[in-house]
Amino acid sequence: MSARLQGEALLAALERGEVRAVERDASGAWRVNAWVKEAILAIFKSSPLAEHGVQRDVFPFVDKQAFGVQAFDVERGVRLVPGGSSVRRGAFVARGVVCMPPMYVNVGAFVDEGTMIDSHALVGSCAHVGKRVHLSAAAQLGGVLEPVNARPVIVEDDVFIGGNCGVYEGILIRAGAVLAAGTILTSGTIVYDVVHERELRGTREAPLEIPERAVVVPGSRALGVKPIGDMWANHRGLHVACALIVKYRDEKTDRATALEAALRGG
């Protein structure tokens, strides 16, 4: 979109999926639209606090005036199950998405078709979630508005994220990958690919990426003997968290992570 929208026009375009905080360019690489994040921040700055909710005497809440929650009807084709879930203004939720209570989708996020967001799950501000993703109970996709040029969390198509997983700080989960329950990925996490005998690390310029169809589980590693400070920890058997790629997705994994077609039905 050539015009750089602002205010209500931007929020509406985000909700229609016409504008995104992050998108693929012609080469297939992910590109951050910093101007979108700048415009969202400008709305926060200019918008006053206001009371929201139709039953303010029963369940009142206060937020920036511009950022109420979205309303859904049958025509939108999103299944929003009762129980306290919210989708904030300026987030896109595609047809066929299932939202189990309570879950939350923040401003600027993009959730594509056929995805399931399970109970207590979070899709953070400007995070991208692809098609047919399963975001299990209590999983967290971190959000980012500042700095504006920082890449948000990106989850490509057909990814399975297990319960109590946390994905933060611009991590990119490539298509078809599986995160086992309890896996935590941050910019400082070291991922050991046991299959290919390599280490995967992120940098400020290029955040960590999980390869396509990788199966990732929580792990730990000894602190080692360097620098000298680690010798003290090493002698006491202390470890720090890491993640392990133990295999790449196969038919057995597909069966274990498959969702019944009935659950995805509109």
Q: Where are the domains of the chain?
A: 7-51+64-256
Per-residue tokens: 234: 């090493």
Per-residue tokens: 13: 């375009």
Average pLDDT over the chain reads 91
Q: Which residues contact 60 (CB under 8 A, 6 or more apart)?
A: 51, 52, 53
Q: Average of pLDDT values for 218-231?
A: 75
∠ at Cα 72 (68, 73), nearest 5°? 150
Prediction pTM value:
0.93
Calpha distance 166→22 (Å, rounded): 20
Residue of 124, 112, 92, 120 lying closest to 19 (CA atoms): 92
Task: Write down the H helix ranges in the chain.
Answer: 7-16, 34-46, 228-235, 251-257, 261-264
- Is the predicted pLDDT of residue 109 greater than 70, yes or no? yes
Look up residue 52 and give its amino acid: H
- Is the predicted pLDDT of residue 18 greater than 70, yes or no? yes
* DSSP strand pairing (128-129 vs 134-135): unpaired
CB 118 within 8 A of CB 259: no
Residue 229: pLDDT band (50, 70, 90) is low
Task: Report the pLDDT value the prediction gives residue 231, as an integer from 0 to 100.
Answer: 78
CB 228 within 8 A of CB 192: no
Q: Average of pLDDT values for 240-264?
A: 83
Q: In what order do the strands lie in the sheet containing 104-105?
A: 86-87, 104-105, 122-123, 140-141, 166-167, 184-185
The residue written with tokens 């910019």 in the block is 187
Task: Report the pLDDT value the prediction gives residue 191, as an integer from 0 to 100.
Answer: 98
Look up residue 96 and give its amino acid: G
For domain 7-51+64-256, say whether CATH 2.40.160.20 is its number. no
What pLDDT digit, counting tens, does each position of 164-183 carry? 999 999 999 999 999 999 99
Residue 56: pLDDT band (50, 70, 90) is low
CB 210 within 8 A of CB 177: yes
**At 43, is the secondary structure helix, strand, or coil?**
helix
- Is the predicted pLDDT of residue 2 greater than 50, yes or no? no
Q: Average of pLDDT values for 34-56?
A: 89
The residue written with tokens 């303010």 in the block is 56
What pLDDT digit, counting tens, does each position of 146-165 carry? 999 999 999 999 999 999 99
Task: Report the pLDDT value the prediction gives residue 257, as an integer from 0 to 100.
Answer: 79
